[in-house]
Chain A
């Protein structure tokens, strides 16, 4: 099966610009997650979709971040306007079940650099 795919792999933008990250989960996986790793720090949870619904968005840092999952397939994460502290690697993950012990399948991540 194809894995979780993320686009783009790298993005360099200037402060104040907008960037949209995309994630295509494994086909049939209803659960989709976004995580972020800021340089040198832990990987942090951002939000969780079940199909097209946001199950938990408690990790979203502020209202400059908007995640969508129209139709319950792929998801986008938009940062508008971007700030320097948004730089990091954004990971998407999916799982077939939403149970706590289902391992997540991660994409390769999008490395975002805000200058």
Chain B
């Protein structure tokens, strides 16, 4: 069975500084990896995904994530944080095939607070 770990419940960063939200995963075979963001009282919004190929993927709102197969990590990054980036961030994984390949497995989420 697949699993996702987001080791930090909360990340605080000053506006304008770079931010990183950590994610590690466990899955049989190759993974599809995703980041979603949830703003208060809203649903989850897709940010970016890794399917195959280039390990650095770029997504919405200036976010990017780096896939590291050896470390089974998919950390979310942004060079310069904005106050409007404050939200709850979820990492998720799906296996390429086999049982549960249509199921997204989520981490617990990381609350990002960007301080003005």
Bound together = yes
Size category of the binding interface on chain B: 20 to 34
Asked if A103 contacts B43 (CB within 8 A), the reply is no
A71 to B72, CA, bound (A): 41
In the bound complex, do residue A98 and residue B102 qualify as a contact, i.e. CB atoms below 8 Å apart? yes
Binary contact track B16-43/A, C-beta < 8 Å → 1, others 0: 0000000000000000101010000111
Output the nearest chain A residue to B38 by Cβ-Cβ distance.
A106
Stretch at the interface among A14-22, A37-45, A62-70, A72-80: A37-45
For the complex, give the distance between the alpha carbons of A86 and B49 in Å. 31
A85 at the interface (CB under 8 A from B): no
Q: Interface range on chain A: under 10, 10 to 19, 20 to 34, or 35 or more?
A: 20 to 34
Q: Is the C-beta of B51 less than 8 angstroms from some C-beta in chain A?
A: yes
Task: Tell me the minimal C-beta distance from B108 to chain A in angstroms.
Answer: 5
B34 to nearest A CB, angstroms?
Answer: 7
13 further A-B pairs in the complex, CB-CB below 8 A; given A93-B43, A108-B43: A41-B108, A42-B4, A42-B105, A43-B106, A55-B102, A91-B44, A101-B49, A101-B94, A103-B46, A104-B44, A104-B46, A106-B45, A108-B41
